[in-house]
Amino acid sequence: MDEKKYVVKKSDIHGNGVFAAKKIKKGEQILKYLGEKITKEESNRRGLEQEERAKTSGEGSVYIFELDDEFDIDGNFEYNDARFINHACQTNCEAENIDGEIVFTATKDIAEGEEILYNYGYALEHFMRHPCKCGKPGCVGYIVAVEDRVKLKKILARMKKKKFASHK
Ligand SMILES: [Zn+2]
């Protein structure tokens, strides 16, 4: 990964995004999630700290990425371009742990100029806090893991029914 395969620029989905600077083939490594390797304990501490900061400053971004059962990566650093990768319900890359590093790898051929998109896969229980505005066909409206989408649809359908019932 010597030559950069991507550029960071403004995205229609959210803030800045990461875009393919040239054609990227399925299976190719695109970029790494760089940062500081920290324990789960430290990770929780930083997460809570950031939540507190967000309450006062409105600056809400947390850039902690799960590495394995023991460690996370805090990627809140200028040099970590991967922190700009946006979530979408339809993605073109996946994150793999390769020798203790998080590497984003293309899951399909990506055209030059296409935005690099990854599924953040947040836990279902707090889905209301993470609306999705990806605008992709099949967008489920919230940022959840692919395997939780069926469950989410059921919850949303139930909520809709309740709403109708209460309007009668
Ligand atoms: Zn979406």
- Write down the pLDDT at residue 56: 81
Phi-psi region of 135 (alpha: psi -120 to 50; beta: other; left: phi over 0): left
* Ligand 1 center–CA 13 separation, angstroms: 9
pLDDT above 70: residue 59 = no
**C-alpha 41 – ligand 1 centre gap (Å):** 31
The pLDDT confidence band at residue 163, using thresholds 50, 70 and 90, is confident
Q: Where are the domains of the chain?
A: 122-168
How many CB atoms are located within 10 Å of the residue 58 CB? 7
Alpha carbon 79 to its chain's center: 18
3-state SS assignment for residue 146: helix
